[in-house]
Chain A
Amino acid sequence: MSETTREPDARRLATEARDRVRFEEDALALSDQVYRVARHLVGSREEAEDLVQETYARAFRSWRSFTPGTNLRAWLLRILTNLNIDRGRRLQRQPDQQPLEEGDYFLYNKLEETSDGLPDEERVVQRLSQNDVVSALSEVPHDFRDVVVLVDIGDFTYADAAQILDIPVGTVMSRLHRGRRILKKAMAESAVGSES
């Protein structure tokens, strides 16, 4: 019998307890960032809170499956997006709903059209409230919004977002591109009205 198999149980348990505590602390230190993303992946604050709680409960149960040294924040978000899908988000989805898209400069052009001079950056802030942006973001269909939220709000790389959502990087890029356009169109409509 080798030395390792005879390692005293007490010592093994102590090491494991220490690793587990460290894992839990590391995960909790990321909770603000996890919540920030969760808040905009789902429709309401209540849903986001439930989802984050469930995510942490599951993460703490299956902490052994996390590989130390890899991206813990991405690992937590992977759990979170899976739980979100399990919760029946697929049922809510309307796959045929493909909003009309405008170009990348739509928001700029729209502001330019409706302002006296050229739109400077400050005008965006003047015309759009925080609520306008939140509601514009919620208008972006799930598939596109997930990617925009992970990359533009969560600061994940394309590769991390691909792993979290279990989709190819190319799909992340195309959804991000379209999602941003949809978002800017919704923002433009909030800023200048959708009458035209």
Chain B
Amino acid sequence: MCNCDECEQWMQPYMDRVLTDAERAEAETHLNECAYCRKRYRFEEHVRQFVRQAVVEPMPRELKQKLLELRTPLL
């Protein structure tokens, strides 16, 4: 059983793909071995995806039309 409090620190940078290759390899080895962290990793990934999808609002059609009208008229 590992002490996984520290894993919380690399989880977000890992998901953002900003760890160095060595750190990333270490994180992946740990994720393969540790069910506790793997479960949290999957959860965090899911939350991100969920947030991204939940906040999408289609652009109003009128706005799109107004933007088209801003174009410089062709001579």
Binding site for B on A (CB under 8 A): 17, 20-21, 24, 28, 31-32, 35-36, 39-40, 45, 49, 52-53, 56-57, 60, 103-105, 107-108, 118-121, 124-125, 128, 130, 133-134, 137, 151-153, 158, 177, 180, 183-184, 187
Chain B interface residue count, CB cutoff 8 Å, equals 33
From 1 to 22 in chain B, residues with beta carbon under 8 angstroms from any chain A beta carbon are 8, 11-12, 16, 18
Cβ-Cβ contact count across A and B, 8 Å cutoff: 89
A108-B44, A137-B51 are known contacts; what are 14 more A-B pairs with Cβ within 8 Å? A17-B75, A28-B71, A49-B60, A49-B63, A53-B67, A53-B70, A56-B67, A60-B72, A118-B39, A121-B46, A128-B54, A130-B55, A152-B51, A187-B47
Main secondary structure, interface of A, reads helix
Given contacts A56-B67, A118-B39, contact A152 B44 (CB under 8 A): no
Contact partner of A152 (CB less than 8 A), chosen from B52, B63, B68, B75, is: B52
